[in-house]
Structure 1
Amino acid sequence: MGQVTVRIGGYTHPVSCEDGQEGHLIALAAEVDRRVGSIRAMGGQFGESRLLLLAALLLADELHDLRVELSHARAGQPGGAATDPKLAERLARIAEKIEGIADGLERS
């Protein structure tokens, strides 16, 4: 079992992962940290748990939008990526990555 220490919003967190997934986990944490940074840029004073909650909600919202877009694409509806199968595949991979981030947040 691998273990890395990630830094999100100025706080460090030790996190376990499968061996060989350390780099991926670090990249996921960097994505969460970017969301935390964007929340801080909006102003206001938030504690660590509030920042992580808001970052998780932003990621969940993006995941929802991607799932809707992917659903439209698979159904061949206008407004989706149906006209470009490669785009639909890319959206599916992005959605999977975001699900991984959400899973990681739930386990922490």
Structure 2
Amino acid sequence: MAQVTVRVGGYTHPVSCEDGQEAHLVALAADVDRRVSSIRAMGGQYGEARLLLLAGLLLADELHDMRIELSAVRAGQPPGPAADPRLAERLARLAERIEAIAGTLDQP
């Protein structure tokens, strides 16, 4: 078992992985770190847990969209926005939900 130290949001985290997977794990952490940086760029003071939660929600949303697109492709439908003409509306609702979740995290 290999041990890698990754840096996300200015914090270091030791993480174990299978031997040979170190570079892949570092790349995944860099992807999470990019999302954390984009959240910070929006402004506001966030603790480590909140930053990681919001980054996780962004990644989960992206994964969800990819699963829908993959299902459409497997069903023979064209990929992308043409498969869902209401995409902008769905994205706006999703952004509102993420903001609502983020707002509840500030409350004790």
Counterpart of 1:41, as a letter, is A
The root-mean-square deviation of aligned C-alpha atoms, in Å, is: 0.9
| Cα offset, 1:16, TM superposition | 0.2
User: Which position in structure 2 is the counterpart of 1:10?
Assistant: 10
Runs of 4+ in 1 over 6 A off after TM superposition: none
User: Which position in structure 2 is the counterpart of 1:88?
Assistant: none
Counterpart of 1:55, as a letter, is A
User: Which position in structure 2 is the counterpart of 1:53?
Assistant: 53
1: CA distance between counterparts of 2:47 and 2:16?
24
| Cα offset, 1:77, TM superposition | 1.7
Q: How many percent of aligned residue pairs carry the same amino acid?
A: 81
Q: Tell me the secondary structure at the aligned position of residue 60 of structure 1.
A: helix
2: CA distance between counterparts of 1:55 and 1:37?
9
Q: Tell me the secondary structure at the aligned position of residue 40 of structure 1.
A: helix
| Cα offset, 1:49, TM superposition | 0.3
Bigger-Rg structure (1/2): 2
- Structure 2 unaligned segments of length 5 or more: list them: 81-108
Q: Any idea what the Cα deviations from partners look like across 1:51-93, whole Å, max 9, x if unmatched?
A: 0000000000000000000000000123x27xxxxxxxxxxxx
1: CA distance between counterparts of 2:77 and 2:30?
34
Equivalent residue runs for 1:21-100 within 5 Å: 21-78=21-78, 80=79
Q: Tell me the secondary structure at the aligned position of residue 20 of structure 2.
A: coil
Given the two structures, how large is their TM-score scaled by the length of structure 2? 0.72
